[in-house]
Amino acid sequence: MNINVIEIVILIILIPFALAWMSLAPWVPTRKKDYIRWLKLVEFKKWDNFYEIWSWDWRVTFYAGKNHDINARWIEICYPIYLYAKIKNIIQKNRNISFENADLFKYDFSDADVIYLYWMPDKNPKLIDKFRKELKKWTKIISYTFEIKWLEPIEISKPTENDLPIYLYEF
């Protein structure tokens, strides 16, 4: 077999994308008009630890971090996507926003005050088991569009028929 260096480099770049692609969530970003709606559900306290997970679209993290005095963190397993967001963040000099290249199933969320996700919970219940073991009391979960059937929502925002639901849960 004759594989050259360029092919190996392309493979190394593509493998993380392939893994990300299998992540059982639609590659559809949160609608811009909904940024304020989910933020209203949460009502951040100063220097809350906020995490956005299971999302390639870090704009939710940027928006929350730029408009609130919070520690905003975005966790992403796919290195090229992470690197792009990281460089953008360094250029913008956002001190309260950070990005980590990590597997969320191995990440410790015990300091989280608010977690935002846009993912299909029914396909991956083990994340909820992890939350149950790890999250402190009163940690809030915002689930955009998808209901988490194992948890009881404390609020559901869906102002009109055309709006996507946003679910608020609390541990």
Q: Which residues bind ligand SAM (CB under 6 A)?
A: 20, 23, 25-29, 54-57, 75-78, 81, 103-105, 118-119
Closer to ligand SAM by Cβ: residue 26 or 67: 26
Query: What is the nearest approach in angstroms of ligand SAM to the Cβ of residue 13?
Result: 14
Q: Which C-beta is closer to ligand SAM: that of 81 or that of 142?
A: 81
Dist CA 130 CA 125 (whole Å): 9
CB of 1 to ligand SAM, least distance (A): 29
Closest distance of CB 78 from ligand SAM, Å: 4
Residue 51 beta carbon to ligand SAM: minimum distance, rounded to whole angstroms? 11
C-beta of 70 vs 104, nearer to ligand SAM: 104
* CA pair distance 24, 106, nearest whole angstrom: 18
CB nearer to ligand SAM: give 78 or 114: 78
